[in-house]
Amino acid sequence: MNSGILVKFAYAFGIPAIIAIYMVWYFTQRMDGTVAEMYYKITIIEQQSVRQKEQDDYRMREIERLQNTITRMCVNVAQTRLERENCFMLPPSPVVKK
C-alpha cells in the first residue's frame, strides 16, 4: 500500500480504524486455513460415520441370520410342541454390571 493513502485514511478514520482493519484482515487470512482444516476433518468424520453405519448394518444382518439359523436348528431338534414353542422365545438381554 502507498503510505500516502495510509496517512489520508488515518486522518479520515483514525489509527484505531487502521488497527481494526488490519486485525480483521489478519484473522481472516488465518481463518481460511482453519475453516478448510475444519471442513476436511468434518468430511473425514462423516465418511467414518457412514462406514461405521454400514458395518453396524452388516453385523445386525449377520446376527439376525445366526438367530434364524439357531432357531431352525432348535425347532428341528425339539421333540415336543412345548420345546418347539420355546425355540421362538428370545433370551433376556444381558445386564452390564458396572
Of 15-19, 52-56, 69-73, the range with the lowest mean pLDDT is 15-19
Task: Give the cell for residue 59.
Answer: 453385523
Summary mean pLDDT of the chain: 82
Query: For the chain, how far is it from start to end, CA to CA, in angstroms?
Result: 66
Q: Which residues contact 78 (CB under 8 A, 6 or more apart)?
A: 84, 86, 87
Residue pair 18/6 in contact by the 8 Å Cβ criterion: yes
Give the model's confidence band at 93: pLDDT under 50 very low, under 70 low, under 90 confident, else very high: low
Interatomic CA distance for residues 87 and 69, integer angstroms: 11
Q: Is the pLDDT of residue 54 over 90?
A: yes
Please tell me whether the overall predicted TM-score, pTM, comes out greater than 0.75 for this model. no
